[in-house]
Amino acid sequence: MHRHGYKGRKFSRERDQRRALLKGLATSLVLHHKIETTLPKAKELVRYIEKIITKAKKGDLHNRRQVIAALSTQTAAFKLVDEIAPQLKGRTSGHVRVQRTRLRIGDGAQLATIEFVDELKAAPKEEVKA
């Protein structure tokens, strides 16, 4: 059998489990700005998150709803669209970087960190005067 035309990694999971895995990793990346996972998962997450960031940068209603659907929580989706995406406007692609870190003790798996390339600033919180 050939590998032609088969995109993406399977991770020894069924389709729903793979989708949930990528959603969870993407949500964690948006909330924490940097996560550590295995190298194949990080490489697959790059493909997934780049498309979501592109939609978040457009920011209209349809794309906002697609971002909400692509991430696990609305909190993460709103943070991506309202806080992170405006800071990434100057870049057309390559929003995240993957760096190999260490071998995992238990099984020797290659671990990697994935993080945003640009330094993200925390949005200033507005004080409510009573």
Please name the amino acid found at residue 102: R
Residue 122 has pLDDT above 80, yes or no: no
Give the pLDDT confidence of 16-55 residue by residue, as tens digits. Answer: 999 999 999 999 999 999 999 999 999 999 999 999 999 9
- 58 lies in a domain? yes
Burial environment of residue 87 by CB neighbours within 10 A (0 to 12, 13 to 18, 19 or more): middle
Residue 63: the pLDDT is 97
CATH number of the domain enclosing 37: 3.90.1030.10
The crossing angle, in degrees rounded to 10, of helices 39-58 and 15-32 is: 70
Contact between 80 and 30 (Cβ < 8 Å): yes
Give the per-residue pLDDT at 120: 79
Domain span at residue 48?
Answer: 15-116
Domain count, the chain: 1
Residue 5: other Cβ atoms inside 10 A = 5
Burial of 112 (0-12, 13-18, 19+ CB in 10 A): buried
Residue 95 lies in a domain: yes
